């Protein structure tokens, strides 16, 4: 029996009707003292007391007396689904809602006080009701227009009703399901992909910082720009040119502004590495956390990935374009990757601060989003790391959690933690680095990313934690905003939050599943999650929370990975760079 049943039934023992004989006799003894002790004065006092008690009970009509019958609710269901222990039902069909309240015994249907049973959410008491022939069940049919994806509450007040007394109130919460009708006109798949890219591109074009041209950390972040997200933004500008969202000249002018800002002596760099956050006007570091106020090697790698793609795109262009590429190469060659080995250790460290040194003490070790860091460190023509740094520091010589080999949902996972971790592991390093034919002694990286995406999809499809909304069309767990915070969601850290970037950026790996998700996000949930800069960051259908935010590091992979799926543009550009080829060769990759 549901916990709810036992909670409701407990009030039998707590009501006046159910009080112990000693308790009741105690009350009687207070109002009927032994006759031998009653003086005339005392009788007057008792008479006054009884009169006051009677008047008080008449005034407080809601108060029960010892003869009131307690009405017990056995269960409540909505559309034949029983209320769970939390008093909540999710995914209720909003087109036809019927509530049943089952009582523990027969009630007096002629004394039903409708005002004491009402709904919040604009419904009130606008419902039809009827009782079954045994007068033990009350049925409510909602007559108002019920909205999809909306939270409603039914409340039953304490007090007299149905010929008895409700000693405890009752609250039922139910969330209506999804309206499957398309929210926007249906277009071809190819047109939909272009639309998503164009709308997402606006984040990096319209919302870029006006002084530096760099990408703001998130929508509304003001002066805070992000180095890694700006690397994604540079690639997005190249896509914008190729898709004719902007002209080549417009794209070049924006990129030149960015390159000039980054090379400026006023812009903070730390042994060539950029901080995670900068001030978009001054170029000065904005601390990401207490000790993270210096170089961030991972964010710098994401930025360099974008700059190298830019170099390949413009290197054979006009004199102005070639001059801009010279600036890009200066930025690339100035990163001292060896400094971040921290006294020549065979591993790279994520952070260094001029104020706190190596206090963060975080090495970049696989498997996660950091593969691009070691590749670029090996590829550097000026500060190249030995291959041993890659094998020991990143690959752990094949030890877990670098290599996995176990199967999940029938899919073998070559690398990483069980179930693969958040999906950005398969996105951030691979906006430029082409995984299609990429292998080394540790993995086939195409097989890795396909498996990772497939496991994430299967987890959401099978929905082992019964999260509301998860399905073969609504899937994708990765790092994103959550309600009142931020978290790296994954099958082992499932908070009920779906981030559109997860499935959409996996389009090259899971084209059928990702396209199905894209259509669901746009056509079915588009009125909730589609905005000026594409899809909002995340949503939770269990709590009806929909983010109003955009993050550069989530928007970037959407436009870039869709383009890689369609044309391979960014993969082809990045992989054509000779330094990149040298780095791959040095680390033993085939590609």
Rounded Cα distance, 418 and 413, in Å: 8
Angle at 230 between CA 229 and CA 234, to 5 degrees: 120
> In 3D, which of 533, 467, 441 has the Cα closest to residue 216?
533
Tens of pLDDT along 508-556? Answer: 999 999 999 999 999 999 999 999 999 999 999 999 999 999 999 999 9
For residue 87, what pLDDT is reported?
78
Extents of the domains making up the chain = 3-53, 73-176, 189-433+441-586
User: Among 70-79, 282-291, 363-372, 406-415, whose mean pLDDT is lowest?
Assistant: 70-79
Quick check: 51 pLDDT over 90?
no
The CATH code of domain 189-433+441-586 reads 1.50.10.140
Query: Could you give the count of Cα atoms lying within 13 Å of 393 in the half-sphere of its Cβ?
Result: 28
From 3.20.20, 3.40.1000, 1.10.1070, 2.60.40, which CATH number describes the 73-176 domain? 2.60.40
Q: How many helices, marked H, and strands, marked E, lie in the chain?
A: 18, 23
203: Cβ–Cβ under 8 A, 6 or more apart, which residues?
215, 219, 533, 534, 550, 552, 555
pLDDT-derived band at 584, boundaries 50, 70, 90: very high
pLDDT-derived band at 18, boundaries 50, 70, 90: very low
Quick check: 33 pLDDT over 90?
no
Query: Could you give the count of Cα atoms lying within 13 Å of 41 in the half-sphere of its Cβ?
Result: 0
- Burial bucket for residue 234 (CB in 10 Å: 0-12, 13-18, 19+): buried
Q: Is 325 helix (H, G, I), strand (E, B) or coil?
A: helix
Rounded Cα distance, 66 and 487, in Å: 54
- Strand-pairing partners, residue 164, are 161
Q: Which residue has the higher pLDDT, 16 or 476?
A: 476
Q: Is 577 helix (H, G, I), strand (E, B) or coil?
A: coil
Rounded Cα distance, 406 and 400, in Å: 11
Quick check: 8 pLDDT over 50?
no
Mean pLDDT score across all residues of the chain: 90
Quick check: 565 pLDDT over 80?
yes
Q: Which residue has the higher pLDDT, 204 or 96?
A: 204
- The residue ranges of DSSP E strands in 313-456, in sequence order, are 351-352, 407-408, 411-412
Tens of pLDDT along 435-444? Answer: 999 999 999 9
For residue 7, what pLDDT is reported?
38
What's 117's DSSP letter?
E
Q: State the average pLDDT over residues 420-438.
A: 98
Rounded Cα distance, 147 and 130, in Å: 24
Q: Are strands 485-488 and 530-531 parallel, antiparallel or unpaired?
A: unpaired
Structure tokens at 66: 């010892």
Q: What are phi and psi of 569, to 5 degrees?
A: -50, -55
402: Cβ–Cβ under 8 A, 6 or more apart, which residues?
365, 366, 367, 394, 395, 396, 415, 416, 442
Share of the chain above pLDDT 70, in %: 89
Q: What are phi and psi of 325, to 5 degrees?
A: -65, -30
Quick check: 390 pLDDT over 90?
yes
93: Cβ–Cβ under 8 A, 6 or more apart, which residues?
79, 176, 177
For residue 40, what pLDDT is reported?
34
Rounded Cα distance, 546 and 538, in Å: 6
Burial 319-358 (b: 16+ CB within 10 A, else e): eebeebbebbeebbeebbbbbbbeeeeebbbbbbbeeeeb
Distance of CA 152 to the CA centre of its chain: 23
List, as one string, the DSSP characters of 59-101. H-TTS--TTPPBP-EEEEEETTEE--TTSEEEEE-TTS-EEEE
User: Among 118-122, 292-296, 508-512, 526-530, whose mean pLDDT is lowest?
Assistant: 118-122
Q: Where are the alpha helices (DSSP H) in 428-471?
A: 445-462
For residue 46, what pLDDT is reported?
37
pLDDT-derived band at 41, boundaries 50, 70, 90: very low
Quick check: 319 pLDDT over 50?
yes
Q: Which residue has the higher pLDDT, 168 or 223?
A: 223
Distance of CA 577 to the CA centre of its chain: 36
Instruction: Please state the pTM of the whole predicted model.
Output: 0.87
- Burial bucket for residue 395 (CB in 10 Å: 0-12, 13-18, 19+): buried
Q: Is 8 helix (H, G, I), strand (E, B) or coil?
A: helix
For residue 68, what pLDDT is reported?
77
CA trace torsion 513, 515, 516, 521 (10° rounding): 120
């Amino acid at each position: 029996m549901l916990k709810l049943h036992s909670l409701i039934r407990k009030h039998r023992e707590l009501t006046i009707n159910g009080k112990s004989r000693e308790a009741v006799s105690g009350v009687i003894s207070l109002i009927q003292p032994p006759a031998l002790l009653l003086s005339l004065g005392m009788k007057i006092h008792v008479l006054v007391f009884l009169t006051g008690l009677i008047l008080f009970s008449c005034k407080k009509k809601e108060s029960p007396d010892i003869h009131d019958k307690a009405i017990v609710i056995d269960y409540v269901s909505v559309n034949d689904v029983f209320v769970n222990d939390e008093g909540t039902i999710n995914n209720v069909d909003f087109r036809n809602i019927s509530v049943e309240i089952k009582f523990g015994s027969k009630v007096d249907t002629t004394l039903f006080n409708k005002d004491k049973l009402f709904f919040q959410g604009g419904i009130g008491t606008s419902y039809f009701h009827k009782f079954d022939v045994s007068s033990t069940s009350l049925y409510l049919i909602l007559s108002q227009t019920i909205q999809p994806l909306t939270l409603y509450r039914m409340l039953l007040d304490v007090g007299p009703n149905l010929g008895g007394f409700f000693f405890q109130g009752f609250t039922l919460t139910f969330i209506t399901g999804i309206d499957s009708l398309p929210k926007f006109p249906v277009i071809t798949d190819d047109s939909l992909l272009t639309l998503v890219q164009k709308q997402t591109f606006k984040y990096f074009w319209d919302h870029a910082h006006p002084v530096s041209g760099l990408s703001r950390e998130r929508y509304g972040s003001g002066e805070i720009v992000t180095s890694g997200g700006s690397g994604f933004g540079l690639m997005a500008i190249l896509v914008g040119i190729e898709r004719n969202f902007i002209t080549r000249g417009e794209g070049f002018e924006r990129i030149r502004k960015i390159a000039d800002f980054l090379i400026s002596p006023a812009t903070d760099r730390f042994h060539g590495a950029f901080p995670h956050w900068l001030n978009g006007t001054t170029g000065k570091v904005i601390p990401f956390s207490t000790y993270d106020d210096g170089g961030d090697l991972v964010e710098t790698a994401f930025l360099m990935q974008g700059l190298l793609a830019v170099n390949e795109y413009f290197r054979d262009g006009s004199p102005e374009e070639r001059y801009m590429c010279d600036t890009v190469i200066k930025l690339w060659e100035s990163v001292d990757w060896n400094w971040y080995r921290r006294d020549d250790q065979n591993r790279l460290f994520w952070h260094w601060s001029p104020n706190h040194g190596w206090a963060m003490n975080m090495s970049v070790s696989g498997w996660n989003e950091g593969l691009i860091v070691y590749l670029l460190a090996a590829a550097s023509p000026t500060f190249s790391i030995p291959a041993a740094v890659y094998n020991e520091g990143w690959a752990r010589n094949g030890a877990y959690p670098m290599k996995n080999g176990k199967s999940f949902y029938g899919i073998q996972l070559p690398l990483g933690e069980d179930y693969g971790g958040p999906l950005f592991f398969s996105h951030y390093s691979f906006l430029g680095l082409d995984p299609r034919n990429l292998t080394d002694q540790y993995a086939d990286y195409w097989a890795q990313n396909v498996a990772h995406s497939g496991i994430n999809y299967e987890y959401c499809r099978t929905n082992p934690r019964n999260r509301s909304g998860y399905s073969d069309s609504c899937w994708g767990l990765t790092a994103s905003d959550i309600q009142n915070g931020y978290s790296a969601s994954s099958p082992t850290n499932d908070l009920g939050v779906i981030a559109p970037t997860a499935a959409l950026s996996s389009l090259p790996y899971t084209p059928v599943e990702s396209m199905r998700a894209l259509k669901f996000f746009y056509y079915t949930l588009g009125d909730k999650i589609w905005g000026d800069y594409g899809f909002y960051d995340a949503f939770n259908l269990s709590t009806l929370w929909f983010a109003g935010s955009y993050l550069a590091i989530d928007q970037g992979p959407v436009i870039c990975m869709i383009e890689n799926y369609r044309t391979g543009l960014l993969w082809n550009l990045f992989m054509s760079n000779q330094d990149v080829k040298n780095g791959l060769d040095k680390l033993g990759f085939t590609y």
